[in-house]
Structure 1
Amino acid sequence: MSEGGDGFDLFSTRRAGVLLHPTCLPGKQGVLGESARRFVDFLADAGMTVWQTLPLGPTHSDLSPYQALSAHAGNPDLIDLTDPIARTPLPEAGFDQFREDNQYWLEPFSQFMAIREQYPAQTWQQWPEGLRDRHPENLEAFCKQAADAILHIEAQQYLFFRQWQSLKHYAHERGVLLFGDIPIFVAHDSADVWANRRCFKLDQEGNPRVVAGVPPDYFSEDGQHWGNPLYDWEFLARDGYDWWLQRLDSQRHLFDLIRIDHFRGFSASWEIPADQPWPKCGHWEPGPGADFLQSCFRRFPDLPLVAENLGIIGPEVETLRHQFHLPGMTVLQFGFDGSDDNPHLLKNHRERDLVYTGTHDNDTTLGWYRSLDDRTRNYINQYFSTDGSDMPWPVIEAAFRSVSSMALVPMQDLMGLDSRARFNTPGTINDNWVWKLDWDQCQEGLAKKIRALLLAAERLPNG
């Protein structure tokens, strides 16, 4: 899907999939074994050919996968300790090869995590100066003293990626593709920023000079103050965007398709002065645009990207997306503001885009429907030809009928769950990222019901 070429094309056939982060799967000792395989089996039985996840990195205490401790590492909490892979002694040759292949991110990540273990109450800019600033003599002395801890962290990562690749193979054997997510920004308190300070707009002590967010939009009426450090795109350009290319390279080995969250940041980012708590104090700062994306596709001609183009999107963002033939997103819940040209309305969908009933940032479709005022709810009942008693299925069926090549439905919608199953509420910090799948809540014959709908919508594989 690069500019001037279409070597990779998942959008030449109609597909459907489920949005579910692995942390939602049930499992007392990790989920990347039997629990994840059971979910893949459910997808295959239902005729679903795509499993979309959120970012897989290790999280801070807030559990947000969009504020990970690393842009490359896997979350060790997902490792299934009961799986045969976890009980097999580490093959020394394979472990050594893994360390060599991934040294560029694994070494600083394992150092970063080992230092955090010694200073658990501090962010990295509060560490002793020698470790904060990565002075070679201080870092070398620490690594000698913490050699066992560093080796353990590296071994965890090796085990995570072995389990993930085993899961990926299992999914592919059953016709299921894995769809990942890259947040455009990274957490300030992360191995990425600590080890690559020159890539970001920081002061001499490592503190952000400006931070990321968004102005008011339909996700948040006050805007959002994310707090992520912003990139020094001029430096990254002089460096050939190498940091970003390494990031894309590691993720393309994990996934068959990759969504770039907040794609509009490549066109312009909402920069908020670090000393200002209010998103409205920010301004749009130009991003790297086509120069960056050209570099990406020169390195990886068949890079399988999807652009998250929700929120405040100007024509320059869509021009950039279309220049590189990147699929975008529509969300049915966003289609009912009364405007005839709303891109989320079914009649305005495009074939090479993705359609969702809702995303991980939305209420469940049933919760959304119940929260509407009477006038909007009546309009939606007429639009979907329902009295509302069978919600959310009219919306799910509409997504399947859409002309868009790929239709994605959160698992909570397929289970018919209300707002208590919402996964994330943007702009809040409580009760997010904690919902768990309970198979007992799935209606009997759910996979069979989905398969019948996909057959009618011509979204079944091989037919």
Structure 2
Amino acid sequence: MRTCGILLPVSSLPSPYGIGCFSKAAYEFVDQLKRAGQTYWQILPLGPTGFGDSPYQSFSAFAGNPYFIDLDTLKEEGLLLPGEYEDLDYGQEETAVDYEKLYRVRFQVLKLAYGRACLAGNAQFERFEREQSFWLEDYSLYMAVKRRFGGKSWEEWDDDIRLGRPEAVERYRRLCKEEIGFYKFLQYEFDRQWTALKAYANAKGIRIIGDIPIYVAFDSADSWASPEMFQYNEDRRPSMVAGCPPDAFSADGQLWGNPLYDWDYHEKTGYAWWIRRMEHCFRLYDVVRVDHFRGFDEYYAIPYGDRTAAGGHWKKGPGMKLFDALRAHFGTVPIIAEDLGYLTDSVIKLVEDTGYPGMKVMEFAFDSREAGDYMPYNYTHNCVVYTGTHDNQTLFAWYDELNDADRAMAAEYLHLTDEDREETVWAFIRLTLSSVADTAVIPMQDYLALGAQARMNHPSTIGTNWRWRMTQGCLTDELIQKIGRLAELYGRHC
């Protein structure tokens, strides 16, 4: 079955409160997807973000981002008054998230809602607390202690709690009881609102493609509460950390800094943590895109303390042993393998052995720096094709940034002229939708023909990423009809 969808992060939805959330605009977007003949809404990871604002560096592999809690819904629940949140300064840019201002005001508002929540004796809350206790207890304690230490990562805490000594853990549970309750409340509200939105989308025939990072952040409840899962020394410091080697796009490589898994430990446990993580993901999403799939075959290990990724080396990952364990537990599951970049024969074989669809990026087909068979005539049916991902430049700006030879080749391939750049964008969209790939996903920025200011992320940089927001009304009826017509024309209309 040929299908298509749109990539739009929740944070990029229109909102008067500084960032997209599970609001009326989200429900309207689902309706627009339906009218446009789409099958999928692809989003970025939903976890709470920290320094750098990246959804791929979350405080938890299981928790949700409190910024996505809709304040208007809290008002309808009787937890907020309009004057307590409507006129606050969430940032002045309609097209960009101001994370600093959000951090300053959003938690103050949510604290007011928590004060009115009356959770004691609330059967729904108690059921959520019980069913999600396997991660909720550690996460809520972690965030409460982190706040007590001025927001510092656990590596800078006092040794007794940094090392998770039982007496220290119990002492901080008592000291931070109120704050722990607050973080549990946030996760409860997040879960209620997201579950309702996903149910609405599914009822409309729209399926959610979620996105999970392969690694957890070092500054996270997971890496603090479960040190046995990672390559730590006796003092709970990483011996090696994650990243990517130097390539044509980054001379020093990418130093992510995530702790690396102790795959021997995970194998001994039958990959229990991964099974639990995927169970959680399939509760949140209909399809799961697994980021950096290559890391399951081989992963790049960088000595802890290095300033760049240049000194790293490749080590063997779990390979099919992990996916055999997942298949034994789940059967066949809808997973997309993010297999972009340089691929060795063993990575290609791993993706083939799993049977998961890999990814293709149309921009890579016309970039001579990018290795791989991304030309559309090389695609197989079992793949998901994108014009670009959250890490790529928008089509509009990307075409301008191509070198002369690459641009000339793209122009010849698609019979392009330089007279109408917006029409050039649509030519690449048509090429993507017309390919043999079973699924095609187009970022919203490309359908809107936006320039470089709408790029979501520029890898290896911090400070200006993850900010773009769609303005109210820019997805017009005319554009919806055009998107729907192309979905129908290329046999992808749901």
Which amino acid letter does the alignment assign opposite residue 492 of structure 2?
A: R
Residue 251 of structure 1 and its aligned partner are, at CA, apart by 0.7
For the Cα contact (< 8 Å) 1:341–1:348, is it kept in 2?
A: no
In the alignment, what sits opposite 1:455? 488
SS in 2 for 1:439: coil
For the Cα contact (< 8 Å) 2:244–2:309, is it kept in 1?
A: yes
For the Cα contact (< 8 Å) 1:80–1:86, is it kept in 2?
A: no
* Equivalent residue for 1:233, pick from 263, 273, 279: 263
* Equivalent residue for 1:330, pick from 360, 364, 389: 360
1:395 aligns with 2:385: no
Residue 341 of structure 1 and its aligned partner are, at CA, apart by 9.7
Larger mean CA deviation between 447-456 and 277-286 belongs to: 277-286
For the Cα contact (< 8 Å) 1:18–1:409, is it kept in 2?
A: yes
In the alignment, what sits opposite 1:41? 31
CA distance in structure 1 between the partners assigned to 2:261 and 2:387 by the alignment: 32
Which amino acid letter does the alignment assign opposite residue 484 of structure 2?
A: R
Residue 181 of structure 1 and its aligned partner are, at CA, apart by 0.7
CA distance in structure 2 between the partners assigned to 1:218 and 1:25 by the alignment: 33
1:60-92 Cα distance to aligned partner (Å, 9 max, x none)? 031100000000000011000102696266681
For the Cα contact (< 8 Å) 1:184–1:265, is it kept in 2?
A: yes
For the Cα contact (< 8 Å) 2:10–2:43, is it kept in 1?
A: yes
SS in 2 for 1:253: helix
* Equivalent residue for 2:458, pick from 425, 436, 440: 425
CA distance in structure 1 between the partners assigned to 2:122 and 2:368 by the alignment: 62
Residue 238 of structure 1 and its aligned partner are, at CA, apart by 1.0
Q: 1:56-455 counterparts in 2 under 5 A?
A: 56-83=46-73, 87=77, 92-337=122-367, 342-388=372-418, 389=420, 390-442=423-475, 445-455=478-488
Across the two proteins, how many residue pairs are aligned to each other?
Answer: 449
Larger mean CA deviation between 375-384 and 39-48 belongs to: 375-384
CA distance in structure 2 between the partners assigned to 1:14 and 1:406 by the alignment: 6
CA distance in structure 2 between the partners assigned to 1:113 and 1:414 by the alignment: 38
The alignment's TM-score, normalised by the length of structure 2, stands at 0.88
Residue 303 of structure 1 and its aligned partner are, at CA, apart by 2.3
1:24 aligns with 2:21: no
CA RMSD of aligned residues (A): 1.8
For the Cα contact (< 8 Å) 1:81–1:87, is it kept in 2?
A: no
Percent identical among aligned pairs is 39
SS in 1 for 2:431: helix
Residue 39 of structure 1 and its aligned partner are, at CA, apart by 1.2
Residue 217 of structure 1 and its aligned partner are, at CA, apart by 3.0
For the Cα contact (< 8 Å) 1:225–1:279, is it kept in 2?
A: yes
SS in 2 for 1:208: coil
1:215-235 Cα distance to aligned partner (Å, 9 max, x none)? 123543431111111111111
Which amino acid letter does the alignment assign opposite residue 443 of structure 2?
A: P
- After TM superposition, where is structure 1 displaced by more than 4 Å over at least 4 residues in a row? 88-91, 337-342
In the alignment, what sits opposite 1:14? 2
Which amino acid letter does the alignment assign opposite residue 290 of structure 1?
A: M
Larger mean CA deviation between 32-41 and 199-208 belongs to: 199-208
CA distance in structure 2 between the partners assigned to 1:337 and 1:33 by the alignment: 38
For the Cα contact (< 8 Å) 1:85–1:163, is it kept in 2?
A: no
CA distance in structure 2 between the partners assigned to 1:231 and 1:338 by the alignment: 34
SS in 1 for 2:468: coil
CA distance in structure 1 between the partners assigned to 2:185 and 2:45 by the alignment: 21
CA distance in structure 2 between the partners assigned to 1:339 and 1:409 by the alignment: 22
For the Cα contact (< 8 Å) 1:272–1:282, is it kept in 2?
A: yes
1:426-459 Cα distance to aligned partner (Å, 9 max, x none)? 0111210011111344456100001111111010
The alignment's TM-score, normalised by the length of structure 1, stands at 0.93
SS in 2 for 1:271: strand
Residue 50 of structure 1 and its aligned partner are, at CA, apart by 0.3
Change (3 A) 1:40 1:145: same
Which amino acid letter does the alignment assign opposite residue 428 of structure 2?
A: V
Residue 343 of structure 1 and its aligned partner are, at CA, apart by 2.0
